Amino acid sequence: MEFLSLILYLLLTITLLQILHSLLTRTTKTRSNLPPGPAPLPVVGNLLKLGDKPHKSLAELAKTHGPIMSLKLGRITTVVISSSALAKEVLQKQDLAFSTRSIPNALHAEEQYKYSVVWLPVSDRWRSLRKIMNSNIFSGNDLQTEYLHENLYISNDGSRLDANQNLRQQKVKELIAYAGKCCQDGVAVDIGSAAFTTSLNLLSNTVFSVDLAGLSQESAREFRDLATNITMEPGNPTWLIISLCLPRLTRKDLFVAGTDTTSSTIEWAMAELLHNPEILEKAKAELEQTIGKGKLIQESDISRLPLLAGNCERDNEDSPVGPILNPSQSRDGC
């Protein structure tokens, strides 16, 4: 009995050693094609090295391993780039090779990613969906909402102006009024949430002529119910587009793409101004001298505000929103 147990233990030990050797060999072979990086731990990889402030941890790791390094986040191999030159090479010169997105497991459940321009790789289907969006959803002929019908702007020389300009001004007024009310009530303004709601309502008004969320609400109402209620004119061409696209639009692909980038950019810009009070005071002084205290800025005034416009451009260069959006994935293996 003892001899049989010894044989079983030996077989188990040999099997485990072979499995371990196979894993180590495969890991070494895989990492030989990857940029340098910290050695990963079993199962968790390098997750423990990120801590509660991943951006600072990645900056410290980049000092040791260079501007391009590989990390193992659980079982997912991730390449981190912290150099503007390398980022330009990947995102601009080699953008097609890195145009794929890492698809969350939740989207695999009903194969929703197969019908989304956000998650689909560059392919014939992706090009077809993008063409449909550009020609049938966001084209000038199909954006015939009630708001645009009632507000057609013609300049003095007879040329047609931006029909959405008044809508943008109205949403900015609502945002300013909301911030003013919060100040009167002594309530902190969540810039990210307020900017997201404003962008969401601007986009939804452009397509459906209705707000999807209120600035004072904690969350937006269910999109499917709203989309059903707002299409009151079945004869309108927009009704056909909505009825055909509604099952896919409920995943909010278009709205996430159109709102998350804008709200994140605004939040970063406000954070930069708050961290630089001198620049903030100069921007406020420029607004008071050019526009006047208490007056609402118009889009036509931007050309007369070089300091404010320069700060916005600098913010886009120094704190681009791209790195905090959906990560890119290589179409080919390393």
Q: What is the 3-state secondary structure (H, E, C) of 311-330?
A: HHHHHHHHCCCHHHCCCEEC
Please give the pLDDT value at position 78: 86
Spatial separation of the C-alpha atoms in residues 37 and 71, rounded to whole Å: 6
CA nearest neighbour of 50 among 41, 203, 120, 267: 41
Same domain, 64 and 122: no
Domain contains 249 = yes
Same domain, 124 and 94: no
Domain contains 231 = yes
Range of the domain at 232: 146-275
Same domain, 162 and 259: yes
Same domain, 55 and 91: yes
Same domain, 111 and 152: no
Domain contains 220 = yes
Same domain, 192 and 240: yes
Domain count across the chain: 3
Q: What is the pLDDT along the chain (334 residues), one digit of tens a residue?
A: 566 777 777 777 887 777 766 665 555 545 567 888 888 887 788 888 888 888 889 889 999 998 999 998 887 888 888 888 888 887 778 777 777 777 777 667 666 667 677 777 778 887 887 777 766 655 555 444 444 444 444 444 444 445 567 788 888 888 888 888 888 888 888 887 788 788 878 877 776 677 767 776 554 444 444 444 544 444 444 444 444 454 454 445 666 566 667 777 788 888 888 888 888 898 888 888 888 887 777 777 888 888 888 877 777 777 666 666 666 777 666 5
Domain contains 328 = no
Same domain, 176 and 250: yes
pTM here is 0.53
Q: Which of 222, 241, 275 is the last residue before a domain boundary?
A: 275
Same domain, 63 and 172: no
Same domain, 249 and 158: yes
Please give the pLDDT value at position 250: 41
CA nearest neighbour of 146 among 202, 199, 197, 206: 206
Domain contains 198 = yes
Same domain, 228 and 268: yes
Q: Which of 275, 291, 306 is the last residue before a domain boundary?
A: 275
Same domain, 164 and 182: yes
At residue 133, the 3 state secondary structure works out as helix
Domain contains 322 = no
Same domain, 106 and 220: no
Residue ranges of alpha helices (H) inside 79-164 are: 84-88, 105-108, 124-132, 146-150
